[in-house]
Amino acid sequence: MTDTILDKDVLVANIRTQMENCDQLKYKRSLLEFFDNDGRFLGDNVFETSFMARQNQPPLIYEVSGPYDTISNEYATIGRIYESGQRIFEYDMKQQIQQRTAAMVWLFFTALDHKPNGVLIVGAGKLAIETVHYLKHFLPDLSVLDYHARNQRIESFENPCGELGVSVRYQDKLELGDYDTIIMVTNTQACLLDSINIDSIRPGAVVASLCTTSQTGEIASEVYDREDVNVMFDYDLTRSFTPDMRAADEAGHLKRVTFLSDILQKNVPLDMTDKKNLIRITGTPMQNVAVLDMMRSL
């Protein structure tokens, strides 16, 4: 299958438009999780349905679904658009999922007027590479960043980033204090940011945690409840979509959450300079609508 690379500027702008007008979109999301007889996580399947209101016309209905398994560490994502009971478009979105996630990271940075300077990426997979693509596109002067992973990835990460003109330096220990931008792109169930090492993060720094599976748990629940932390979610269902978020919510740690749509519309003032800024991204219907609309127009 030939890769379809969506225009980065257009994709970011289209997601922004969908986020700003998200009140026109009615959506529901369900998650099926699977475990073996010993309680080990096998994988999951996500179902997302969105109704786009169109005044007196029938709504456009967007449906996105796809399973993930832990053995292959791969997922599938199929998108469909329906109108008046007819399927009018269908597309295998797998190649665009990483693009729209990386685009969402940049949209958050733009909305917060945050220009990354010292960057650490935690993880070295395909989404990490796509994130570097977007950083380099919007920050052409970016020439170096650090990354942390379980082991050094010269062929699969360092070399592809080098081809983009970005030199990436491997950090075998997770040190967080030297950076103003930390992007976590892992599928780990272990907490990478906890109540101890949060103190090492400098005020004004931005930490983006990208939920790559339903079991991703990169940030300890109690961190979200700290007075010196801003907590920002991509949308409302992030609060309840994954087990770690549900546990944090039930424990009362998510009382001070700001959503991206409010940031874009300048509805909430944020003290970015003196606080540590945590972003949690699980992937929104607005992103998927933006991708499907772009693919349909090609």
| Tens of pLDDT, residues 74-108 | 999 999 999 999 999 999 999 899 999 999 999 99
pLDDT for position 132: 98
Q: Which amino acid is at 174?
A: L
Q: Would the pTM of this model clear 0.95, i.e. be above it?
A: no
The pLDDT of residue 216 is above 50: yes
Q: State the angle between helix axes of 285-297 and 8-20 in degrees (0 to 180), rounded to the nearest 10.
A: 130
Write down the pLDDT at residue 1.
43
Q: Give the percent of the chain with pLDDT over 90.
A: 86
Question: pLDDT tens digit string along 151-206?
Answer: 999 999 999 999 999 999 999 999 999 999 999 999 887 889 999 999 999 999 99
Q: What integer pLDDT is reported at residue 174 of this predicted model?
A: 94
Q: Which of these ranges, 3-12, 23-32, 63-72, 214-223, has the smallest mean pLDDT?
A: 214-223
Is 97-285 a CATH 3.50.90.10 domain?
no
Instruction: Give per-residue pLDDT as tens, 18-38.
Output: 999 998 899 999 989 999 999
Q: How confident is the model at residue 2 (pLDDT cuts 50, 70, 90)?
A: low
Q: 245-284 pLDDT, tens per residue?
A: 898 999 999 999 999 999 998 888 888 999 999 999 999 9
Domain ranges of the chain: 8-95+287-297, 97-285
In this prediction, residue 217 has a pLDDT band, given cuts at 50, 70 and 90, of: confident
Per-residue DSSP letter, 268: S
Q: Exposed, middle or buried by CB within 10 Å (0-12, 13-18, 19+), for 4?
A: middle
Angstrom CA distances, 296 to 20, 81, 82, 289, stand at 21, 9, 12, 10
pLDDT (mean) for 205-209: 97
Task: Give the rounded distance of the alpha carbon of 95 from its chain centre.
Answer: 15
Task: Estimate to the nearest angstrom the gap between the alpha carbon of 189 and the chain centroid.
Answer: 16
- Residue 17 clears pLDDT 90, i.e. is over it: yes
Give CA torsion, residues 35, 41, 42, 46, to 10 deg: 90
Whole-angstrom distance, CA of residue 272 vs CA of residue 62: 35
Q: What is the pLDDT of residues 220-232, one digit of tens each?
A: 999 999 999 999 9
- Which of 235, 148, 224, 223 lies closest to 186, judged by CA? 148
What average pLDDT does the segment 233-255 reach? 91
Instruction: Look at the alpha carbons of 263, 268, 272, 277 in this order and tell me if their dihedral is positive or negative.
Output: negative
In this structure, the strands spanning 41-54 and 25-35 are antiparallel
What single-letter DSSP state applies at residue 247?
H
